[in-house]
C-alpha cells in the first residue's frame, strides 16, 4: 500500500491526493554536530486548483545522525 498525502484548497475546499513516493526530496542544508552530520531535507508540491488558486505545500525533515 502506498502512502498518500491529501491537501485541501483553502478557497473552494476541493481535495487533492498525491502519492508520497512522488515527492522529490532535496538536501537543502548540512551541518556538523556532536554525533556527525545533520542533514535538512525539503520536498514541495506546487499545483493549481480547479478554481485557479495556486497551492503550495512544503515538507521538511532532518536526519541526525546520518542513517538514523
d(CA 46, CA 16): 12
According to DSSP, residue 52 is labeled S
pLDDT for position 21:
86
d(CA 19, CA 3): 6
d(CA 24, CA 43): 6
Q: What is the pTM of this model?
A: 0.73
Question: In the prediction, which pLDDT does 68 show?
Answer: 78
d(CA 11, CA 5): 19
Query: pLDDT at position 63, please?
Result: 95
Query: CA 24 to CA 45: how far, in whole Å?
Result: 9
Amino acid at each position: 500500500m502506498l502512502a498518500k498525502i491529501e491537501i485541501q484548497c483553502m478557497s473552494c475546499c476541493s481535495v487533492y491526493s498525491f502519492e508520497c513516493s512522488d515527492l522529490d526530496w532535496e538536501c537543502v542544508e548540512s551541518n556538523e554536530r556532536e554525533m556527525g552530520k545533520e542533514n535538512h531535507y525539503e520536498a514541495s508540491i506546487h499545483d493549481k486548483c480547479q478554481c485557479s488558486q495556486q497551492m503550495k505545500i512544503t515538507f521538511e525533515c532532518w536526519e541526525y545522525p546520518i542513517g538514523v
